[in-house]
Amino acid sequence: MDIKVKKANPLQQKVPCLVLGVFEGKLKTSLLKELDLALAGALGRAVRDGEFSGKVRETLLFHTGKGFSAERVMLVGLGKEKNAGLEYLRQAAGAMVGALQARRLTVFATDLVQCPLKGTSLAARAQAVSEAVILASYRFDRFRTENTEDLSPALKEVRLLVEKPSLVAEAEQGVQDAHCICRGVVLARNLVNEPGNVKSPEFLAEQARTLAKEVGIEVTVLEKKALVKEGFGGMIGVAQGSERDPRLIVLEYKGGNGEARPIVLVGKGVVFDAGGISLKPAEKMDEMKMDMAGGAAVMGTLLAVAAMKLPVNLVGIVPAVENLPSGTAMRPGDILTSLSGRTIEVLNTDAEGRLILADALTYAKRFDPRVVIDLATLTGACIIALGHHASAVLGNHDGLIRQLIKAGEQSGERLWQLPLWDEYGAQIKSDVADVKNTGGRPAGTITAAAFLQKFAAEFTWAHLDIAGTAWEEKGRPYISKGGTGVGVRLLVQYLRKIAEV
């Protein structure tokens, strides 16, 4: 899709559809008055009859007549001006794409980037609108072979209109950033949506090799033999029930100063989580192909950051395994020796994410990280606590958590902090090993983080539980059903801030 920035008067655009953003109740602007005149009062009548008031995501379409440059005009609601921020802008842009695609319109111009949102730059608005346009038109259709004519057509050309020639370059920068970021989000969504029969640990490794080649970064893949030899007891324990061997995927991007310590991202990469011997119920088990969404976010972030050439040093680590029951699977009661040397009593084989993350966190130490952030679809309890509107954040450093929460607000991928008080540690004490892998029903998200904390004690660390946000069931304005790619936009925002660009 081609997103162009143009200096132009919206009412003089020759285009199949012109889309204008409207704040709630603000229907008397000079532009809308001029439009109403050109439409012979149709806009005023529609507003009078309650068809449109500017509520966020609302749309209204007019066919124009002779003497009007655009063939159609669509109004899209931006919500109340005082509440409006970049997230409303993304939602409005997403709703706009939905309404256009439903009418099979693929070429349009819009003034959305010009809407005066307090405290936002033109570059940020252009990025937000472009992100929403690209992500709203995403779909995973590689397995659709029949009735493809039912699918909405791909957008061809988008013109973002600005008032003055001097504004074009700034808006173009925002568009370019959005293209890089969305490359990462789309990769993450595609990887999550890929079915389990295709998506082996080796498939993820191959995808990592491909992306590394695309943007010129380093990739290392440890295969089973190396993992056994080095003592990745957590990974081997989980993987031993599957015919498909585990992989440890490591991506390295060196955009910063040679000596600068890297940020290390760790992403849970369980390509399918049946629960192992502690088998999950059949209902919705299919969704557990998304249990590598943390790993997908890490791979997507490395792709985006390398494409943007951000001046940071960044390492991505993805432990990739499959959790299945079989005659060779680990059993409840087994004791594993993790890479750290710490022993783990496995009381529930379905609490597998923390076992592989323990090894990956220990492995992170060799990069002498400045900060470690892990992302994981770790606990069903997180969905009970926060539902689908925020990921949980926990960690051992308040400054880092604050920076991440801020990045979440700016990117629209919100985080909510849960406590990690020492008292929770009592729930994961084992009688026979150093630690056990479940802490019972109370505070499941917190006891999972308390488990990880033992393996992250040496560094500044935060954990994001994305169990409730990695998968979308219904579809939202710019988030299609299935994998959401959550984490990529958040982490890029965080990394841009600390790289100060």
Nearest alpha carbon to residue 269 among 243, 282, 288: 288
The interface with Mn ion within residues 351-390 (CB under 5 A) comprises 352
CB 132 within 8 A of CB 97: yes
Residue 465 touches Mn ion, criterion: CB under 5 A: no
- Which 3 state secondary structure label does DSSP give 342? coil
Nearest alpha carbon to residue 59 among 107, 103, 7: 103
Instruction: Give the x/- contact pattern for ligand BES in 116-155, rule: CB under 6 A.
Output: ----------------------------------------
Which helix or strand (DSSP H or E) is residue 219 part of?
strand 218-222
Which one of 185-193, 242-250, 335-343, 344-352 is the stretch in contact with ligand BES (CB under 6 A)? 344-352
Which one of 131-139, 186-194, 257-265, 269-277 is the stretch in contact with Mn ion (CB under 5 A)? 269-277
Which one of 21-29, 46-54, 266-274, 364-372 is the stretch in contact with Mn ion (CB under 5 A)? 266-274
One of 247, 354, 454, 496 is an active-site residue; which one?
354
- The residues near 225 (Cβ < 8 Å, ≥ 6 apart) are none
Pick from 87, 111, 322, 350 the residue near Mn ion by CB under 5 A. 350
Pick from 291, 345, 359, 374 the residue near Zn ion by CB under 5 A. 291
A 10 A CB-CB count for 55 gives 14
A 10 A CB-CB count for 131 gives 27
Q: Return the exposure string of 199-218: e unless at least 16 CB atoms fall within 10 Å of the residue's CB, then b.
A: bbbbbbbebbeebbeebebe
Rounded distance between C-alpha atoms, residue 23 and residue 80, angstroms: 6
Rounded distance between C-alpha atoms, residue 159 and residue 173, angstroms: 14
Residue 379 touches ligand BES, criterion: CB under 6 A: yes
Pairing label, strands 72-77, 415-417: unpaired
Residue 468 touches Zn ion, criterion: CB under 5 A: no
Compare residues 163 and 286 and give the one whose CB is closer to ligand BES. 286
Compare residues 223 and 334 and give the one whose CB is closer to ligand BES. 334
Which one of 13-21, 114-122, 355-363, 371-379 is the stretch in contact with ligand BES (CB under 6 A)? 371-379
Residue identified by tokens 């990745």 is: 232
Residue 322 touches Zn ion, criterion: CB under 5 A: no
Which helix or strand (DSSP H or E) is residue 161 part of?
strand 157-162
The interface with ligand BES within residues 422-481 (CB under 6 A) comprises 438, 444, 467
Residue 322 touches Mn ion, criterion: CB under 5 A: no
CA-derived radius of gyration, the chain? 24
Which one of 5-13, 53-61, 345-353, 439-447 is the stretch in contact with Mn ion (CB under 5 A)? 345-353
Min separation Cβ 122 and ligand BES, Å:
38
Residue identified by tokens 């958590």 is: 401
Residue 58 touches ligand BES, criterion: CB under 6 A: no
CB 363 within 8 A of CB 317: yes
Among Zn ion, ligand BES, Mn ion, none, residue 321 binds (CB under 5-8 Å by kind): none
Pick from 131, 273, 345, 374 the residue near Mn ion by CB under 5 A. 273
User: What is the identity of the amino acid at 433?
Assistant: A
Min separation Cβ 288 and ligand BES, Å:
6
Say whether 402 is catalytic. no
Pick from 233, 353, 439, 482 the residue near Zn ion by CB under 5 A. 353
Say whether 354 is catalytic. yes
Min separation Cβ 414 and Zn ion, Å:
22
Pairing label, strands 247-254, 218-222: antiparallel
Among Mn ion, Zn ion, ligand BES, none, residue 467 binds (CB under 5-8 Å by kind): ligand BES
User: What is the identity of the amino acid at 444?
Assistant: G
Rounded distance between C-alpha atoms, residue 221 and residue 210, angstroms: 12
Sign of CA dihedral 379, 383, 389, 392: negative
Residue identified by tokens 């579809």 is: 475
One of 55, 254, 280, 414 is an active-site residue; which one?
280
- The contact set with Mn ion (CB under 5 A) reads 273, 350, 352
Annotated catalytic residues are: 280, 354
- The contact set with ligand BES (CB under 6 A) reads 273, 291, 348, 350-353, 377-381, 438, 444, 467
- The contact set with Zn ion (CB under 5 A) reads 270, 273, 291, 353
